[in-house]
Structures are given as structure tokens and as C-alpha cells.
Amino acid sequence: MKKLLLASAAFVLFAGTSVLAADLPVKAPVYKAPVEPVFSWIGFYVGGNVGYSWGRASTDLTETVNTTATITTLNGTPIASATATTTSAGSDRAHLNGGLVGIQAGHNWQTDRYVWGLEGDIQWTGERGGITICPVAAGVAAGPCPGPTGTQFGTASYRLPWFGTLRGRVGVTFDRVMLYATGGLAAAEIKADYTDGTFGGTTLNPLATGSANTTRAGWVFGGGIEGAIDRNWSIKAEYLHMDFGSIDQSISASGVPLSVVIGDFRTTLSQNLTSAFHTRVTDDVFRIGVNYRFGGPVVAKY
């Protein structure tokens, strides 16, 4: 009888415990946020671009004319000689506008939303332009250029066949869109042709000509926006300002002497011209381009 009572009590106790356990609340599963994809800009890339440039060649012209009068006897014995020197100056700015096409290559590194890297490019351009400067002596009012016969004038024409840059880039990304700033070194080939002389002058008045072909190094800064089309392809729009420094070029010439015989004396006039061109070349570029990146896949961020 005692065994029966103990068994019944154990059964009741077990059943009550099971019922209480069934009534306890069940802990909800831990919520896990969905995986947020982060686009990766890391990797080496190559691409091409087209655009337009607004170059400027700000030019100062300083001109020195030496006119010498020599009096001799008919057999060449010197009697007297005098030289008058005239210095004139003027300035203007040539517009070197033209289209351009080029290629670029670079590499990106990335930490979270921030991207930095290096990029180099080379461009072939149609930039060219020229100016006419009419220098005047100090205190003399400038007139029309070129003016009437006897007016001094100089011309300069410029071309930029190519330029290239090597720049750092620093940007912030909004997933597949990147805004960036860029800056570094720039170099360009600059070709120039110069002429200086007297408008409508005679053979007494010298006409000086010359040319220059130089590669100049300078600096560049700018910025742009780049957007990814898919994992590898992206398009960009970019503005750059470049400064290639200054070019100094001197040209000179002598005119054909003019002799006049009066009585037993010969008077000979001769002229020598020296012209100095000082030019500063800058360039503003807007271009659009496409890049193909050899980087890895989209990175998952938890």
C-alpha cells in the first residue's frame, strides 16, 4: 500500500512540473540584420577619355630698337656717329582652346568609405592660338593694333600637342559613387613661333623671327565624380587646372643699312632690333572618361 501511495505522489509531482514548464514563455530567436553589401573600389584600372581645354598664354613683349647714324667721308673716313635707343612694351593673352583625347591608368586602395590612389594620364590635344601685340614706349598712349605704317608690332602663336599628369587621388564613396579631389605634377610640350618688327616697314627696319619647342613641368589640381556601372566598369567626369610656368624667348635682327650721299659726305642709317617674349601658360580641362578596373568583388559588410 505504501509503494502504491509513493508511486502516485511521484506521478502527480512530475505531471505538475511538466504543466508549469509548458506555461513558461519561450525566448525569441536573436535577430540578425541582413547583410549590407559594400562596393569595393580597390584595384588597378585603365581607361580612356575625351574632353575640351581652355588654355591661356599670357605674353609680355619688350622691344629694344637701336638706330645708329654714321657720317663718313666718301672714302670711308669716320666723321661722327650717334645711336638712339627706343624701348617699348606691351602684353596680351592668347586663347589656346581645343579638344583632347587621352588614356589613363591608376590604382585604388580603400578603407571603409574612403579611397586613395595614384593616377597617370597622357593627352593629345588640338590646343592652339595666337596674338598680335603692339608695344609702345613709356608715356605713349596705345593705338590700334596693328596701326598705320611705321607701327611696331609683334606676333606669337602657340600649340600644345600633348600634356600628361601624375596625380594622387583622395575620395569618399557612397557605395557605387565616388567624389574625389586630385593633384600632382603636370608636363606639356609647348611650341611657339614669334615675329617682331615694323608694320609696313622698309628694308632698313629689321624683322625678327624665331621659334621655340620646349617641354615644361608644372602642377595640377582638380576634382571629379566617378560612378560604377558594374563590378568592373565605371564612368567619370573631371575638371583639372594646370600651370606650366613661364617661357622666355629672345629674337633679334638687323635691317639693311640705308646710305645717303650729300656733297663729300656719306650718312648711313642702320637699325638693330632685340625682342624678348615672356609667356606664362595655364590650362583648364573638362573631360569625361571610362575605366575598367581589375579589382575584386563586392565585399559583404555585417
What pLDDT, on a 0 to 100 scale, did the predictor assign at position 25? 55
Which residue, 154, 133, 155, 131, is CA-closest to 144? 133
Three-state DSSP class for residue 21: helix
Cα separation, 15 vs 21, in Å, equals: 10
Cell of 254: 638687323
The predicted-structure confidence for 156-192, as pLDDT tens digits, reads as follows 999 999 999 999 999 999 999 999 999 999 999 999 9
Three-state DSSP class for residue 40: coil
**β-strand pairing of 233-254 with 299-301:** unpaired
What pLDDT, on a 0 to 100 scale, did the predictor assign at position 203? 85
Give me the residue label for grid cell 610656368. Answer: 245
Q: What's the mean pLDDT when you consider all of the chain?
A: 87
Cell of 199: 608694320
Cβ distance 280 to 58 under 8 Å?
A: yes
Cα separation, 256 vs 277, in Å, equals: 24
Tell me the pLDDT band of 7, cut-offs 50, 70 and 90. very low
- If residue 102 lies in a helix (H) or strand (E), which one and from where to where? strand 78-111
Cell of 49: 577619355
Q: What is the mean predicted confidence (pLDDT) over 45-58? A: 98
Give me the residue label for grid cell 615675329. Answer: 195
Q: Which residues are within 8 A (CB) of 284 and not within 5 positions of it... i.e. 6 or more apart?
A: 53, 54, 55, 239, 240, 241, 242
Tell me the pLDDT band of 9, cut-offs 50, 70 and 90. very low
What pLDDT, on a 0 to 100 scale, did the predictor assign at position 150? 79
Q: What is the mean predicted confidence (pLDDT) over 129-142? A: 86
Domain boundaries of the chain, sorted by first residue = 50-296
Judged on CB neighbours under 10 Å (0-12, 13-18, 19+), 8 is: exposed
Q: What is the mean predicted confidence (pLDDT) over 271-292? A: 97
What pLDDT, on a 0 to 100 scale, did the predictor assign at position 148? 78
The predicted-structure confidence for 185-198, as pLDDT tens digits, reads as follows 999 999 999 999 98
Q: What is the mean predicted confidence (pLDDT) over 230-257? A: 95
DSSP code of residue 1: -
What pLDDT, on a 0 to 100 scale, did the predictor assign at position 189? 97
What pLDDT, on a 0 to 100 scale, did the predictor assign at position 141? 73
Q: pTM value? A: 0.80
Which residue, 248, 60, 247, is CA-closest to 154? 60
Cβ distance 126 to 158 under 8 Å?
A: no
Tell me the pLDDT band of 31, cut-offs 50, 70 and 90. low
Cβ distance 224 to 178 under 8 Å?
A: no
